[in-house]
Amino acid sequence: MIVALDRTIDRFLEVSDHRPILLRLAATAPADAAPSVSQPLTEDEARRLSRGLRRRNEPAAGARTLAEARARLADRSTYYDAAADAVVREAYWTGISAGTAGFTQTVAGTLKQTHTTPLNYEPSKHVYPWVDVRPNAMVQSIYSGFEATPEYFIQADAEVERLRTEAREALLERGVLESTEMEAMLEAQFQYNCEHVVPQSWFGKKEPMRGDLHHLFSCEPRCNSFRSNYPLVQHEFERTMQDCGRVEDDAFEPKGGKGAVARATLYFMLRYPGYVGRRYAGQRLKTLLAWHAQYAPDEWEKHRNAAIYVLQGNRNPLIDFPEWALRLQFEG
């Protein structure tokens, strides 16, 4: 019997203050115990056993209805239900095909219309507990690959919030008036463990962009600060990278997560046209498309896409149909 992390728990911080524990228990009969005599199963026992084996051997059986598929994606006891996600994906994009007239506009319009639940920027609530969890039940920093439990990231942000509160109170006691400038200063000084792949300064920290989970990833503040608000690039000459990446000529090449951040940026350009501008034109756009092609979406990214769909209503087309990248127009 294996007892592992319970994925139905939304906020790990409220449950435990330590890393998840994995126990493996085995029970064996005493050496001198008499051998047991096998008894035939009753008809009811045989029926229940057969039903249980079918469930175990067919965990990804197709959902019969869209409502059932949605419910299965919302069930956090399963990390990623590929069969249910396929049902939802086909229903979500029904009637839309690559190469048709107005394809890009149709996809962009769908992303906007189905973004029915805009979320506030609260990574401890929306990112670390489930959306950004990896198949091994850990959370990984997008650029450096640093890995820790969801609890670690939640607790780290709780400490950031405590420091912000103390600093805010100290400033108010000195007669400094509360303002957006003060909050911006506190946020810059005490950063969450979360990265906006499209920097907040590019869209003035406006909603719904700020809380859009499709471009939010777990990331240590040091890597967040190291990247600053520079655009993503592939530097021409190979040089030794720091564990977060490399900054040169006011541009940032991440060490890890290139495929995921490329797809997140391309999603943003479709969902919020006009905010990226010329920052990803020409060779920089080609770089994003190259990363997208080189690093295909894995189970973690598909899990993210499905989990975000449940929370805010829309999906990333570059994860659902990677080949669409060749037919979509990304103008920023």
Tens of pLDDT, residue by residue over 201-236, are 999 999 999 999 999 999 999 999 999 999 999 998
Tens of pLDDT, residue by residue over 76-85, are 999 999 999 9
- How many Cα neighbours within 13 Å face the side chain of 145? 8
Percent residues over pLDDT 90 in the chain:
76
Q: Residues 128, 148: contact at Cβ < 8 Å?
A: no
pLDDT band at 26 (very low <50, low <70, confident <90, very high): very low
- Looking at per-residue pLDDT, the higher value among 69 and 12 belongs to 69
Tell me how crowded residue 7 is: count the other CB atoms within 10 A of its CB.
Answer: 15
- Looking at per-residue pLDDT, the higher value among 13 and 286 belongs to 286
Closest CA to 228 of 205, 259, 250, 204: 250
pLDDT band at 242 (very low <50, low <70, confident <90, very high): confident
What value does the mean pLDDT take over residues 183-195? 95
Closest CA to 262 of 280, 241, 238, 243: 280
**Interhelix angle for 82-92 vs 299-312, to 10°?**
60
**Structure-block tokens of residue 160:** 């950031």
Ordered by start, the domain boundaries in the chain are: 94-323
pTM to 2 decimal places: 0.80
Q: Residue 252 belongs to what H/E stretch?
A: strand 251-254
- How many Cα neighbours within 13 Å face the side chain of 12? 27
**Interhelix angle for 150-173 vs 180-189, to 10°?**
140
Is the peptide bond preceding residue 118 cis, with omega within 30 degrees of 0? no
Tens of pLDDT, residue by residue over 99-115, are 899 999 999 999 999 99
